[in-house]
Amino acid sequence: MCFLAPLAGGLGYLYYFLSPQYETETRFVLRSALPAFPNADAPNDANVASLKVVQDTLVVVSFLESPGLVKRLNEEVNLERIYGGAEVDPLSRMRLGASPEDMAEYFEKFITTEVSSVSGIVTVKLRAFRPEDASEVLEIIFSLAEERVNLLNGTIWASVLEVAERNFDEASVQLREVRQRYAALQNETGVFDVELEAKVLSEVITALRTELIDLENRRATLLLEVPETHLNVVRFNRAIEVRTAQLEQLKDELASSRGSAATLSINQQRFDALRVELEIAQDRFKTAATELEQAKLLNSVQMVFLDRFIFPTVPQGSSYPIYAWEVVRLLFFCLSTWGLAFLALSWLQRRVD
């Protein structure tokens, strides 16, 4: 009863009722697109990209072994239909109406994930009770893994793009504000360019000085021949007075105050200060625009992707159960049952005696 009966029942169930399981597998690696973007601003150290790939590989493997995968997989395909159908034997069948935790615990027995520490190759094996189901479910699992990688990329680069857009907007506002202040200063002083105005005034002063010297020389030459009351001498005197007054006025505009307006030197300082702010704002705007274009480019390109080189196929033969191993397990169970029963009966017999 303790050995032969369980052995006969187990062998009968193993060979006549136990549902065969079909296994298929897929293999892929994670690759980074960073080496395809040679840029002076990009990391030159290859270890950075390698470390990122290793981290993402571990993230994907953890996801494939998590209850989250079972939840997403159950949303894509009805796992109860595949693993809880009437064609599956009662001992191997998924319990209908199982909780997500029980469903995840059940599914862990049918999926195996391995990652090579040397090559980084991820191997995913899946078993199902029909060959078509094994291939279909594994394809969906790979799609979910790709979705997880894309979600990681999207979250990272969306954050980078958001920061780049905010910096660009702030730089644009700063540049616009400095330009408005520069234009307001030009309207206030009536000067478009202080340096240009100073240069023009200097040239005019030089020309007036040259003309004044020429008039004084001609007047002195004329006084050698006629008296000071001569009409031509009087004309030269008036011309010299006019040139002298013009020269003094221009000197006042160049170096002293002009009515209530600020002096040219003070305006020069105000324009210089604003020009420095304008150059800084322009440099910041250029940098922000460059960063924004790079962020848009990187956001539109998949930086980490799954490169699959072995695709799942429809299995032609069942891989499980392994009958020899199942018979050994059954024998061990029957011997254990017989041994426990023998010890219990021996102890009971000693107590009765």
Q: Let me know if residue 9 belongs to a domain.
A: no
| Claim to verify: residue 193 and residue 311 sit in the same structural domain | no
Give the residue from 296, 313, 342 where a domain finishes. 296
Q: What percent of the chain has pLDDT over 90?
A: 14
Measured CA to CA, the distance from residue 165 to residue 39 in angstroms comes to 20
Is 184 among the domain residues? Answer: yes
> Could you give the 3-state DSSP secondary structure of residue 306?
strand
Parent domain of 71:
20-165+300-352
Q: Is residue 185 part of a domain?
A: yes
Through-space distance between the first and last CA atoms of the chain, rounded to whole angstroms: 24
Whether residues 31 and 151 share a domain: the answer is: yes
Six-digit token string for 147:
């979705």
Residue 38 and residue 151 in one domain: yes
133 and 51 housed in the same domain:
yes
Task: Give the per-residue pLDDT at 258.
Answer: 41
DSSP letters, 21-41, are: BEEEEEEEEEEESGGG---TT
290 and 331 share one domain: no
In a domain, 146, yes or no: yes
What's the pLDDT at 235?
82
Counted domains in the chain: 2
Which residue, 160, 159, 163, 149, is CA-closest to 302?
149
Q: Tell me: pLDDT of 336 over 50.
A: yes
- The Cα 150–Cα 144 span in angstroms is 10
Task: Based on the fold, state whether residues 121 and 254 are members of the same structural domain.
Answer: no
Report the mean per-residue pLDDT for the chain. 80
Residue 27 has pLDDT above 90, yes or no: yes
Domain co-membership, 156 together with 38? yes
In a domain, 15, yes or no: no
pLDDT for the residue 242? 82
**Is residue 345 located within the same domain as residue 247?**
no
Which pLDDT does position 134 carry in this prediction? 92
Q: Which of residues 305 and 26 earns the better pLDDT score?
A: 26
Q: Are strands 22-32 and 122-128 parallel, antiparallel or unpaired?
A: antiparallel
Rg of the chain in Å (alpha carbons): 46
236: in domain: yes
Statement to judge: residues 319 and 260 lie in one domain: no
pLDDT exceeds 70 at position 256: no
Residue 2 lies in a domain: no
- Residue 24 clears pLDDT 90, i.e. is over it: yes
Q: Are residues 149 and 235 in the same domain?
A: no
Helix axes 67-76, 131-189, angle to 10 degrees: 100
Indicate the pLDDT class of residue 198, thresholds 50, 70 and 90: low
Looking at the structure, do residues 152 and 27 belong to the same domain, yes or no? yes
pLDDT tens for residues 204-254?
778 878 888 888 888 788 777 778 777 777 787 888 888 788 777 777 665
Q: What is the mean pLDDT of residues 260-270?
A: 60
Q: Mean pLDDT over residues 54-71, rounded?
A: 87
- Which of residues 253, 273, 296 is at a domain's end? 296
Q: Mark which of 249, 270, 296 sits at the end of a domain.
A: 296
- Does 7 reside within a domain? no
Query: Both 195 and 286 in a single domain?
Result: yes
- Which pLDDT score is estimated for 124? 94
